[in-house]
Structure 1
Amino acid sequence: MNGVFWNSGLAKPIEDDTLNFPEDKPLPGRTKPAPHVIVADAAFCLSSHILKPYSLRYMTREQRVFNYRLSRARHVVENTWYIG
């Protein structure tokens, strides 16, 4: 498990689903509500509020596109906080 995250005050409430994320809302130009999530890397455990990339083995084209877009989003976050 990722040491920094799992030793933070966020890990347990996210894992227990007690963090009280905001209510799901549609993204601009959409009608279907989307959940609020944390963009993570492969070291994190998957949960309903954590997005992580697909495993690199046997990915479909759609999964590769998802991984690329998730990576771009993660880089924005990392650059914001000077992580990396």
Structure 2
Amino acid sequence: MLDRALCFSLRHGRSDVDLVHRDVEFGIILLHSNAEHRSLCDLYRHPPEASTTATVFDGWAPGDMLQCFRIVQRPQSLEWHIDCPPTSDN
């Protein structure tokens, strides 16, 4: 299990793709967390050297599940939407 890694490259066949469907073979390069401060645009323009910054995970087995999430930082806010019961006007 990997904790956090950036998806540097996702490929299906010889094409770069944004997503892959279930039960389809694909190639993925996960970027080590020490390069997370760089933007993806910067990473594509200046790819990491062949060193410890680029991690290729190849320990997959049939039936493994890959789940990816995009972490979005937003300012905290709290809104209450409380429905008040109707009042009787007797």
- Same fold judged by TM-score > 0.5? no
Higher relative contact order (CA 8 A, sep 6+): 2
Question: Structure 1 or 2: larger helix share?
Answer: 1
**Greater Rg over alpha carbons, structure:** 2
Structure number having the greater strand percentage: 2
- TM-score (norm. length: structure 2): 0.19
